């Protein structure tokens, strides 16, 4: 089954101006905060939001990451959302009602048809309509949309967000995906107190992660929401 029934738990968004990003997420979008990390030495997951079908989380990044004009290859679409809105760091949203509920993640690629086999055959996601480059996950669907590498003078970038799939057994998932042809990034599975992770990218450059949460992570303030998503919320 590979990742067919696995939910996307998180989308991590990079930010260097945390105050501006929080104002956008909380005041403009109306996202409810479910966890904050005020330790100044921490830069990963410093603010977490309940977005209905998954969690949105902020990472702190140096301003140099955003010097080159660009916009995300990811568009986060919320229920009822139509108009495209860009946040202070170039992340793209189609917001709808409040509080927002993420209904799909749209990934910009130069050739959607060329990426379909990766999602369908390598990751094992279900493609309901063969003519449509859209794939079901255990939470929110992934939709591929055609886009040139540069739009309106802005280059599509992939290093300012990360999509995270849950797995209950990262060793088994890693072995199955490798057998299906997936090449992972880095040195293999990494372990931290929050759990175990391994990274990969799709043919278009979008970054993904497999994540097996630890019991410690599930005991944090955001843990109750994670458990609800895993239970098919």
Q: Residue 146 is part of a domain; what is its CATH number? A: 3.10.180.10
pLDDT of residue 112: 96
Q: Is residue 202 part of a domain?
A: yes
Domain count, the chain: 1
With residue 19 as reference, give the H or E element that holds it: helix 18-22
**Cβ–Cβ under 8 Å, residues 198 and 174:** yes
The Cα–Cα gap between 218 and 233 comes to 16
Give residue 215's pLDDT: 94
Flag whether 3 is in a domain: no
Instruction: Provide the pLDDT for residue 143.
Output: 98
Alpha-carbon distance values, 186 to 160, 162, 174, 178, 199 (Å): 18, 15, 13, 14, 7
The predicted structure's pLDDT at residue 187: 81
Handedness of CA 90, 112, 172, 198 (dihedral sign): negative
Q: What is the pLDDT of residue 85?
A: 95
> Has residue 51 been placed in a domain?
yes
Tell whether 2 is covered by a domain: no
Domain with 60, as residue range(s), is 8-230
Taking 70 as the pLDDT cut, the residues of the chain under it are: 1, 68-69, 151, 153
DSSP, collapsed to helix, strand or coil, labels residue 163 as: strand
List Cβ neighbours of 143 (8 Å cut-off, separation of 6 or more).
104, 105, 106, 107, 133, 134, 135
Task: List, in sequence order, every residue forming a beta bridge with 195; answer none if it has no partner.
Answer: 192, 213
Enter the pTM of the model: 0.95
Tell me, yes or no, whether 1 lies in a domain. no
Residue 129 maps to a domain: yes
Q: What is the pLDDT of residues 22-31, one digit of tens each?
A: 999 999 999 9
DSSP 73-109: SEEEEETT--S-EE-TTS-EEE--SSS--EEEEEEEE
pLDDT digits 0-9 by tens, 32-64:
999 999 887 788 999 999 999 999 999 999 988
Q: What is the pLDDT of residue 1?
A: 66
- % residues pLDDT > 90 (the chain): 82
């Amino acid at each position: 089954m590979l990742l067919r029934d696995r939910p996307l738990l998180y989308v991590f968004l990079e930010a260097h101006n945390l105050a501006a990003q929080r104002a956008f997420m909380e005041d403009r979008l109306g996202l409810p905060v479910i966890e904050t990390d005020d330790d100044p030495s921490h830069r990963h997951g410093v603010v977490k939001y309940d977005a209905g079908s998954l969690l949105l989380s902020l990472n702190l990044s140096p301003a140099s990451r955003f010097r080159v004009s660009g916009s995300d290859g990811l568009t986060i679409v919320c229920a009822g959302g139509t108009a495209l809105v860009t946040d202070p760091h170039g992340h793209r949203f189609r917001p709808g009602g409040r509080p927002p509920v993420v209904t799909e993640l749209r990934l910009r690629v130069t050739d959607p048809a060329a990426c379909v086999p990766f999602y369908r055959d390598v990751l094992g996601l279900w493609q309901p309509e063969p003519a449509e480059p859209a794939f079901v996950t255990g939470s929110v669907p992934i939709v591929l949309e055609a886009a040139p590498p540069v739009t309106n003078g802005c280059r599509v970038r992939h290093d300012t967000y990360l999509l995270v799939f849950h797995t209950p057994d990262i060793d088994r998932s890693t072995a199955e995906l490798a057998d299906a042809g997936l090449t992972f990034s880095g040195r293999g599975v990494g372990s931290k107190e929050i759990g175990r992770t391994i990274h990969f990218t799709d043919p278009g450059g979008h970054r993904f992660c497999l994540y097996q949460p630890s019991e410690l992570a599930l005991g944090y303030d955001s843990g109750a929401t994670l458990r609800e998503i895993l239970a098919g919320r």
